[in-house]
Amino acid sequence: MQTKQLRINSILKDHEAVAEAAAILRSGGVVAIPTETVYGLAASAFDPSAINKVFSAKGRPADNPLIVHISEFDMLPDLVADIPEKALELARRFWPGPLTMVLKKSDKIPDAVSAGLDTVAVRMPSGTVARAIIGTADLPLAAPSANLSGSPSPTTAAHVLKDMDGLIDAVVMSADAAVGVESTVISLADDIPRLLRPGAITLEMLEEAIGEIIVDPAVYDMPEEGEAVSSPGMKYKHYSPKTKVVLVKAVTEDYISYVNNHSADGVFALCFNEDTGGLHVPHVCFGSQEDEDSQAKALFSALRALDDQGAKIAYAHSPQKDGVGLAVYNRLIRAAAFELIEL
């Protein structure tokens, strides 16, 4: 299949490309679109055969449900069975933005989207290009991250092309993702809200808005074999570059000497900008130790860069687990297949 490249820098100047992306989606095609978190692989949420194309392009297990993207609040009632008060409050505060809410689904959501669950995940992205495409298509769009299943999520159009060229109808070539990690996922389908995946809308922000929240154990730890998981995506090995990643929790000096002591062919440091001074091994940085937003933005590019540079093993400096740092930690511990060294 020839994958068309549609350049959209401005939704006004590039309105023809917006219309073309929307037309492909309306006719059952699959288009990679930019969002503020990561690029997504979009298809009509109401078209099971288009959804199947998304699963096969990614090589995604059929039991892992998709997030449905809307461009305005009026699109929500059609998708869900009801809208609890806490969901209204979160939508008021954080939509459009990097927050996904899991709610009881309506009959309109095909099983292919919800993977047979009785819930559906919905979010309203803040990126203007994403919202223009959804609005022009006049359809809710189901969209997982636009990477091959298991590899790091794409934060640039170049990442998308690397994984998806020849597999999908079109890629929207647009700006790099501003946030860099996928949306926060919170379930409001039960009495007490449950954080399923941390993101740029932090646990602290959510608690301030709606009070008590249960943090799903899978946010920090590996689910046990056969254990029921609230979010099917949590049980898969995720975000993994080919490079073996080992997470190292240590203060700067100890981290640097640990990595230097393990110097060998193919050994890299996946480090903060501040760590580079004393390192005697090749390194890839993922932002500043003091600035979790910069870490989120750089992480997935850094994981891909390790592969591109032929790293065999990368010792990653562990971020703090509060604020947006929890999202960065959650992705890194999965990239490391839960291998953590505490010094």
Tell me which stretch binds Mg ion (CB under 5 A): 105-113, 145-153, 214-222, 245-253: 145-153
Least Cβ distance, residue 338 to ligand TXA (angstroms)? 16
Tally of CB atoms within 10 A around 85: 9
Q: Which of 61, 150, 223, 232 binds ligand TXA (CB under 6 A)?
A: 232
Minimum CB separation of residue 40 from ligand TXA in Å reads: 3
Nearer to ligand TXA, 26 or 104 (CB): 104
Q: Which stretch binds ligand TXA (CB under 6 A): 21-29, 225-233, 276-284, 313-321?
A: 225-233
Residue 145 interacting with Mg ion (CB under 5 A):
yes
* Chain position carrying tokens 């298809």: 43
Q: Would you call the peptide bond into 96 cis, given omega within 30 degrees of 0 as the criterion?
A: yes
Q: Which does 289 bind (CB under 5 to 8 A by kind): ligand TXA, Mg ion, none?
A: none
Q: How far apart are CA 55 and CA 282, in angstroms?
A: 37
The C-alpha atoms of residue 34 and residue 48 are separated, in whole angstroms, by 22
Does the protein bind ligand TXA through residue 183 (CB under 6 A)?
yes
Question: What is d(CA 155, CA 182) in angstroms, rounded to the nearest whole number?
Answer: 10
Total number of residues that touch ligand TXA (CB under 6 A): 27
Cα–Cα distance measured from residue 340 to residue 343, given in angstroms and rounded to the nearest whole number: 10
> According to CB under 6 A, which residues from 23 to 52 bind ligand TXA?
35, 37-38, 40
**147 φ, ψ (degrees, to nearest 5):** -110, 160
Whole-angstrom distance, CA of residue 100 vs CA of residue 324: 15
Q: Cα(248)–Cα(258) distance, rounded to whole angstroms?
A: 9
- The CB-nearest residue to ligand TXA is 233
Shortest gap between Cβ of 100 and ligand TXA (angstroms)? 5
Distance CA 110, CA 176 (A): 31
Q: Which residue has the tokens 């703090």?
A: 320
Quote the least distance from Cβ 309 to ligand TXA, whole Å: 25
Q: In the set 54, 91, 99, 119, which binds ligand TXA (CB under 6 A)?
A: 119
The two structure tokens encoding residue 59:
């090589």
Q: x/- contact string, 194-213, with ligand TXA (CB under 6 A)?
A: --xx----------------
Q: Give the shortest CB-131-to-ligand TXA separation in angstroms.
A: 12
Range in contact with ligand TXA (rule: CB under 6 A) among 117-125, 243-251, 294-302, 306-314 = 117-125
Nearest distance in Å: CB 269, ligand TXA: 27
**Dihedral sign (CA 116, 122, 125, 128):** positive
Q: How far apart are CA 222 and CA 134, in angstroms?
A: 35
Nearer to ligand TXA, 134 or 302 (CB): 134
Closer residue to ligand TXA in complex, CB, 285/330: 330
CB atoms inside a 10 Å sphere around CB 2: 8
Place of tokens 């390194």: 283
- Taking the C-alpha atoms of residue 112 and residue 43, their distance in angstroms, rounded to an integer, is 12
Considering only residues 264-303, where is the footprint of ligand TXA by CB under 6 A? Answer: none
Assess 182 for contact with ligand TXA (CB under 6 A).
yes
Is 132:39 a contact under the CB 8 Å cutoff?
Answer: no
Residues that bind ligand TXA (CB under 6 A): 35, 37-38, 40, 64-67, 98, 100, 102, 114, 117, 119-121, 143-145, 182-183, 185, 196-197, 231-233
